[in-house]
């Protein structure tokens, strides 16, 4: 393919101008290219239609705007299903909701069982600090909230990463740096809000410091895991949307607990 020219430009083109001089260089996709990359190309270059060529560069046709919209919606819904741990393709989404309960359970259980194993691991981490919990029961009050916050931060990052890694043209270092700075800002804000509240309610400055430090650290860790895990799964040839959610939840829970109890040991014991 040599290039393309808009119909309006073609109509107003002087008759003596050769077509080759009026062509605009336009990115094209090969006929066997993944459709998600096609949509990414269209967004990045602000194209309303994408030309398709064979391996020899010969023009085969054009993907029109309506088809691009369908592709974007298809990929978006597919990622949402996979993040939820539903191993169904988008075109089978209705069947996933209307099929027999046994089949639905079979599609969802693998990742949930993985989550159950992660919960057991998190419980084991908490059990290792039984002495500290018995000594100061107030330490246990903040575990559910800390784990939830880390999961929420990580889930936000995963949702952005699963879609963004396929559409963004920035390099990993740039994306990771941006997410780490975002995590630091989120963690710092949560820590500054939490510290005076815990100090005021419980009257324990060192407990408040431990919770605040844990929130600050968990914010950075959760955003890093939420971005790196989808990238790593993609590099290994696995769809990052399939395992990012359940696997990242396990890592974030365990890391948050370890950070929290480390802070508790530093400030309280």
pLDDT 10s digits, 174-226: 777 777 888 889 989 999 999 999 999 999 999 999 999 999 988 888 888 87
Q: How far apart are CA 148 and CA 113, in angstroms?
A: 19
Least confident of 17-21, 61-65, 79-83, 261-265: 79-83
Burial class (CB in 10 A: 0-12, 13-18, 19+), 102: exposed
SS3 of 54, please? coil
The domains of the chain, with CATH numbers, are: 7-63 (3.10.580.10), 116-268 (1.10.357.20)
* pLDDT above 70 for 259: yes
Give the residue among 168, 139, 86 at the shortest CA–CA distance from 257: 139
The Cα–Cα gap between 217 and 211 comes to: 10
d(CA 38, CA 51): 10
Which of 85, 102, 104, 84 lies closest to 94, judged by CA? Answer: 104
**CA separation for the pair 224, 177 (Å, rounded):** 9
Within a 10 A sphere around the Cβ of 226, how many other Cβ atoms? 28
Tell if the pTM clears 0.85, that is, is over it. no
Is residue 241 pLDDT above 70, yes or no? no
Helix pair 240-268, 205-235: axis angle to 10 deg? 160
- Longest distance between any two alpha carbons in the chain, whole Å: 91
Nearest-5° Cα angle at 230, 189 to 217: 25
Q: Find the DSSP H helices in 99-142.
A: 101-127, 130-135
- Tell me which DSSP letter residue 86 carries: -
Say how far residue 157 (Cα) sits from the centre of its chain.
5
């Amino acid at each position: 393919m040599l290039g393309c020219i808009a119909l309006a430009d073609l109509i107003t083109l002087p008759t003596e101008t050769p077509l080759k001089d009026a062509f605009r260089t336009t990115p094209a996709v090969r006929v066997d290219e993944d459709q998600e990359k096609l949509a990414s190309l269209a967004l990045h270059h602000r194209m309303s239609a994408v030309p398709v060529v064979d391996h020899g560069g010969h023009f085969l046709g054009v993907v029109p705007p309506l088809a691009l919209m369908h592709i974007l919606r298809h990929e978006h819904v597919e990622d949402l299903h996979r993040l939820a741990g539903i191993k169904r393709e988008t075109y089978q989404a209705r069947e996933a909701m209307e099929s027999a309960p046994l089949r639905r359970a079979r599609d969802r259980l693998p990742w949930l069982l993985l989550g159950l194993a992660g919960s057991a691991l998190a419980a084991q981490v908490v059990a290792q600090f039984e002495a500290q919990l018995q000594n100061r029961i107030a330490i246990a009050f903040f575990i559910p909230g800390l784990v939830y916050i880390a999961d929420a931060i990580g889930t936000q990052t995963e949702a952005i990463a699963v879609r963004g890694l396929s559409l963004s043209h920035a390099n990993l270092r740039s994306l990771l740096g941006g997410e780490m700075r975002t995590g630091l800002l989120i963690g710092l804000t949560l820590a500054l809000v939490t510290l005076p509240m815990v100090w005021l309610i419980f009257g324990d400055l060192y407990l408040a410091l431990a919770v605040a430090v844990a929130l600050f650290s968990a914010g950075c860790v959760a955003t890093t895991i939420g971005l790196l895990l989808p990238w790593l799964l993609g590099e290994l040839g696995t769809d990052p949307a399939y395992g990012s959610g359940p696997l990242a939840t396990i890592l974030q829970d365990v890391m948050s607990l370890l950070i929290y109890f480390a802070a508790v040991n530093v400030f309280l014991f």
